[in-house]
Structure 1
Amino acid sequence: MTHVSNDPAWWPYIKWCYILNYFIVASSTAVVYDWVLTFAREFELVWRRRWSFVTVLYVCVRCIGILYSIVYIVGNLPFSITDVVGNIFYFMQVWIPVVVNAMLGVIMMTRIHAMYQGSKIMLVFLGAVLLTCTIATVVMTGIGNIKASAVDVVLSGNRMCLSLGVADTLNREIFIPTLLWEVIALFLAVRIFIKHIRELQKSRTESTIGDCFTALIRSHVPYFVG
């Protein structure tokens, strides 16, 4: 059932939705453009080689990310959808980031584990922290959306899918466990990087140190920036 409202109180929300939609479309376009430019290299380095666990995670993250963008854009297109479809779209938008963040966490854990020369103690520590943060995120997401439902609405002539019964305060705090994990991962990566730089300073030239710095920055910093 479609609900119609012309209440001016919804105008700030409508404006925010427009801005968010523009951002989603722009970022999705950038991702697709980057994918087209790098597909040949990806095909050579990923698809033609024997797959590992990290490769599977990489492909899943990419495919799920594309699915998330499609679901979000379709859910905000100006045509009517049933409440059931709206609920499916809403819960996909809620849970896909949780799943993707967990996968990215495993990928980053693998990288840091390799940076620490395969230390079992570090692997156990990283696994425990990531598991704790992921469970906390799952629990908070579940509690915050346990009574949530999506309805088809028309607000001042703008058709959209609106979520009801959402615990906004708890949902705004869902990012905290993920942020905690990323801060810890960043600290550990910077720590081993500094240690490695100090070792290089004792045995190699500044140019080699600069090359090492560039390589580490390119491979690890984008994860935290993204």
Structure 2
Amino acid sequence: MSEEEAATGLRWNNNVSVAAIALISYEYLILLDKEVEYVWKRPWSFMSCLYLVVRYFGLFLAMVCACWGGLMYIPESVSYDLIVLIEWGFSVYFCFAEVILIWRLYAICNQSKLVLHVLVGLFVPIVALSIGTDVYLYSRPSVFSVQEVMTPNAKYCTLYFKIGPMLAIYTSIPIMCFDILLVIIAAFTLVKHVIEQRRIKMRPNTYMVMIVRYHIVYFALNLTNQILLVILWADIPTPAMSLAELFNGTAPFILAPRLIISIWDTHANEECVHVSTTFADCLCWTSPPDFEQHEMNPCVEHPESTFSADKEVVEV
């Protein structure tokens, strides 16, 4: 690498680092008041614990990614351990994000134990594959190296992969297939729900539509993330590499907690006369237009609804 290329790479890294820190900090601050209201001031639950994991573990990973490489000088000996931590951290974060999607599918599928067991059974091999991939690709010094680059005005560390991107491509295929399955189940559940609601002349449930939409958005995000992770293994121009790293280092950590907060916030602001449980599966339904008495109480529980009232409430 020439001195000019090293200086250009350092400038790109610093600019991307500043942008990542600004985005993550801004996102954290604008959601802090809602987090205090919906998490810290309420009894903790399984979903609130998942929120705290994706919120603060994601914040930690995003800041480490932003600081490594140039914005803050980190010695070469420490940099290798940080890269391993970052790559393993991305995998752990992915697993928690997938658990959130599985839990929401379990909720909107009428708390079907079959759906839960099938998804968990398919997810366990995905976790094992992710662990094996991280061990093989990121835990062996023979696969990649961290080198210190010195310029007249600064010095920083960068990494070089010693193998091609094909293994990363192959190992990402099962992950994408699993995400496709989650989207298909969510879409099928929504279609079934819409048909049932039209039969009884009621609008689709707001939360059902929202959760399915988030599944699709997350699938698109994860697909883009997996493609960019593979691209980072290839020898691509510095600007493209930096922009890909900016996306991978911010988008997953912004979207996951925001999706949880959005559902909670929608539930809290819904104009419902009766809400049985805080953050519960939605029991609020739009009233049939022909019944005036329902207009006085727009939130009713219907026995044919996907969210059965006689079942244990699952927080989404």
Asked if residue 72 in structure 1 is aligned to residue 70 in structure 2, the reply is: no
- In structure 1, give the amino acid aligned to 2:190: F
CA distance in 1, matches of 2:161, 2:107: 44
Q: How does 1:125-204 map to 2 (within 5 A)?
A: 125-145=118-138, 146-147=140-141, 148-154=144-150, 159-164=155-160, 166-169=162-165, 170-204=167-201
> Could you say which residue in structure 2 is the equivalent of 1:51?
44
Q: CA deviation at 1:57?
A: 1.8
CA distance in 2, matches of 1:166, 1:32: 34
Residues 24-58 of structure 1, C-alpha deviations (whole Å, 9 max, x = no match): 54354333323322221221111111112222221
Q: CA deviation at 1:65?
A: 1.4
Asked if residue 6 in structure 1 is aligned to residue 5 in structure 2, the reply is: no
CA distance in 2, matches of 1:150, 1:168: 17
TM-score (norm 2): 0.59
- In structure 1, give the amino acid aligned to 2:177: L
Relative to structure 1, the CA distance from residue 106 to residue 127 in structure 2 (aligned partners, 3 Å threshold; closer, same or farther) is same
Asked if residue 223 in structure 1 is aligned to residue 233 in structure 2, the reply is: no
Q: CA deviation at 1:122?
A: 0.8
> Could you say which residue in structure 2 is the equivalent of 1:116?
109
TM-score (norm 1): 0.80
> Could you say which residue in structure 2 is the equivalent of 1:209?
204
SS at match of 1:50: coil
* Overall identity of the aligned pairs, in %: 20
Relative to structure 1, the CA distance from residue 119 to residue 77 in structure 2 (aligned partners, 3 Å threshold; closer, same or farther) is same
Choose which of 35, 38, 52 in structure 2 pairs with 1:42.
35
The count of corresponding residues between Structure 1 and Structure 2 is 217
SS at match of 1:62: helix
CA distance in 2, matches of 1:137, 1:14: 35
Relative to structure 1, the CA distance from residue 188 to residue 210 in structure 2 (aligned partners, 3 Å threshold; closer, same or farther) is closer
> Could you say which residue in structure 2 is the equivalent of 1:87?
80
CA contact (8 A) 1:141 1:174 kept: no
- In structure 1, give the amino acid aligned to 2:134: T
Which runs of no fewer than 5 residues in structure 1 stay unpaired? none
User: Could you say which structure has the larger radius of gyration?
Assistant: 2
CA distance in 1, matches of 2:23, 2:34: 17
Which runs of no fewer than 5 residues in structure 2 stay unpaired? 222-316
Relative to structure 1, the CA distance from residue 216 to residue 67 in structure 2 (aligned partners, 3 Å threshold; closer, same or farther) is closer
Report the structure, 1 or 2, having the larger helix content. Answer: 1
**RMSD between aligned residues:** 2.9
CA distance in 2, matches of 1:225, 1:112: 17
CA distance in 1, matches of 2:201, 2:43: 35
Relative to structure 1, the CA distance from residue 79 to residue 199 in structure 2 (aligned partners, 3 Å threshold; closer, same or farther) is closer
SS at match of 1:81: coil
